[in-house]
């Protein structure tokens, strides 16, 4: 049984609900009445006038053929650094097809990858040629970082994703205020050194690329245990087993974007940023102030020199650093 308090509470609740309901009903009625008053009364049509019924909306017709997805066809043949990829091997062909499908249908990401190549590939290609490293390795940088100054959970950094110890081993300065893994020119040269040494150790460029991902020691252990010397015959960890195929898929798409439904006009690719070099061999205590004194700001200075990691550049050893500064329109006029 309900207590006296409970009955009293229910009566009040019902009464308040009734009041709310009546108030809402009154508002609706008033709103409708107001709309009728505001609505302009149109005169009735003449008696002899034929009123045509309003046409029904035609249903939207969608061309379903444009919505059908097709896996991109594999090429009849493909090489990596001049080394033939054995597409006649069923398992090899399927691994390439997987990476080609992933990168073809990951539209937003692949569009941006392609656009960034216009800005950064010219410099990377130039250094690869100077260092005697095959041009296909520019796609390794594309696969590693997307041509962004990324940092992985394992601590790998920059376009070429060097770990700290590996970067130092190959001549890069890595400390709190200066990290040359983010210096595209120096990191590309360091990558060339790594790849050249890996090629000498493993005998071909394909295994050198695999070593870049797996590490020389890990790859050497796999080769020694499995007694095979071809990347395509090795059983490797999932990341490394996909690695070369990811590079190959990006090579295919970049080489012929329209074949893979990426219609990018040449003018839409990002352009290299015009800069000039400013050499310093002393400390800079205030980089934002330095930027302003040279006609720019710290944001732009950091974009052009991401290897500068703080607001200052300590340089007790008087080492020579090259800082990129934006080439301004006023300088072009002077030239």
pLDDT value of position 95: 97
Residue 65 has pLDDT above 50, yes or no: yes
Residue 2 has pLDDT above 50, yes or no: no
CB neighbour burial string for 315-335, b if at least 16 within 10 angstroms, e if fewer? beeeeebebbbbeeeeeeeee
Task: Please name every residue paired with 174 in a beta bridge, in sequence order, or none if there are none.
Answer: 179
Q: Identify the CA nearest to 198 among candidates 170, 159, 235.
A: 170
CA 52 to chain centre: 57
C-alpha count within 13 angstroms, C-beta hemisphere, residue 238: 2
**Rounded to whole angstroms, what are the CA distances from 3 to 10, 12, 17, 76?**
11, 14, 21, 87
pLDDT value of position 73: 87
Instruction: Read off the pLDDT of residues 108-166 as tens digits, 9 standing for 90 and up.
Output: 999 999 999 999 999 999 999 999 999 999 999 999 999 999 999 999 999 999 999 99
CA 288, CA 41: separation in Å to the nearest integer?
A: 69
Instruction: Read off the pLDDT of residues 39-62 as tens digits, 9 standing for 90 and up.
Output: 455 566 565 555 555 555 555 444
pLDDT tier, 304 (very low <50, low <70, confident <90, very high otherwise): very high
Rounded CA Rg of the chain: 33
CA 332, CA 195: separation in Å to the nearest integer?
A: 39
Whole-prediction pTM value? 0.78
Residue 170 in 3-state DSSP? coil
Residue 229 has pLDDT above 70, yes or no: yes
Tokens 């695999």 belong to residue: 210
Helical residues (DSSP H) of the chain, grouped into ranges: 4-38, 90-105, 107-131, 138-145, 164-169, 184-202, 205-214, 216-226, 238-255, 287-293, 298-304, 329-334
Q: What are phi and psi of 247, to 5 degrees?
A: -60, -45
Task: Please name every residue paired with 278 in a beta bridge, in sequence order, or none if there are none.
Answer: 323
CA 168, CA 175: separation in Å to the nearest integer?
A: 10
Q: What is the largest CA-CA distance in the chain?
A: 102
Which structure tokens are listed for 211? 């070593």
């Amino acid at each position: 049984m309900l207590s006296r308090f409970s009955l009293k509470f229910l009566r009040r609740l019902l009464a308040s609900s009734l009041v709310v309901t009546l108030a809402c009903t009154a508002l609706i009625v008033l709103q409708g009445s107001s709309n009728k008053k505001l609505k302009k009364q149109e005169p009735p049509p003449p008696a002899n006038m034929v009123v045509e019924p309003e046409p029904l909306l035609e249903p939207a017709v969608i061309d379903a053929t444009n919505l059908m997805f097709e896996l991109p066809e594999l090429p009849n043949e493909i090489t990596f650094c001049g080394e033939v990829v054995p597409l006649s091997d069923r398992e090899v062909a399927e691994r390439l097809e997987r990476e080609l499908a992933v990168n073809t249908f990951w539209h937003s990401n692949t569009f941006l990858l392609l656009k960034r190549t216009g800005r950064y590939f010219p410099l990377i290609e130039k250094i690869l040629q100077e260092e005697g490293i095959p041009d296909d390795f520019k796609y390794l940088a594309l696969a590693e970082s997307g041509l962004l100054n990324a940092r992985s959970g394992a601590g790998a950094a920059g376009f070429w994703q060097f770990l700290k110890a590996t970067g130092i081993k190959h001549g890069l300065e890595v400390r709190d205020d200066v990290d040359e893994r983010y210096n595209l020119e120096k990191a590309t040269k360091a990558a060339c050194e790594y790849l050249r040494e890996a090629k000498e150790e493993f005998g071909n460029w394909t295994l050198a690329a695999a070593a870049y991902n797996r590490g020389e020691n890990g790859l050497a252990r796999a080769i020694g245990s499995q007694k095979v010397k071809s990347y395509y015959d090795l059983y490797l960890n999932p990341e490394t087993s996909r690695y070369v195929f990811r590079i190959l898929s990006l090579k295919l798409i970049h080489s012929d974007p329209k074949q893979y439904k990426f219609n990018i006009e040449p003018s839409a690719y990002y352009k290299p940023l015009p800069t000039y070099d400013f050499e310093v061999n002393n400390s800079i205590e205030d980089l934002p102030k330095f930027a302003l004194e040279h006609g720019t700001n710290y944001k732009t200075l950091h974009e052009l020199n991401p290897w500068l990691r703080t607001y200052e550049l300590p340089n007790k050893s008087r080492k020579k650093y090259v800082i990129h500064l934006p080439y301004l329109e006023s300088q072009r006029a002077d030239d």
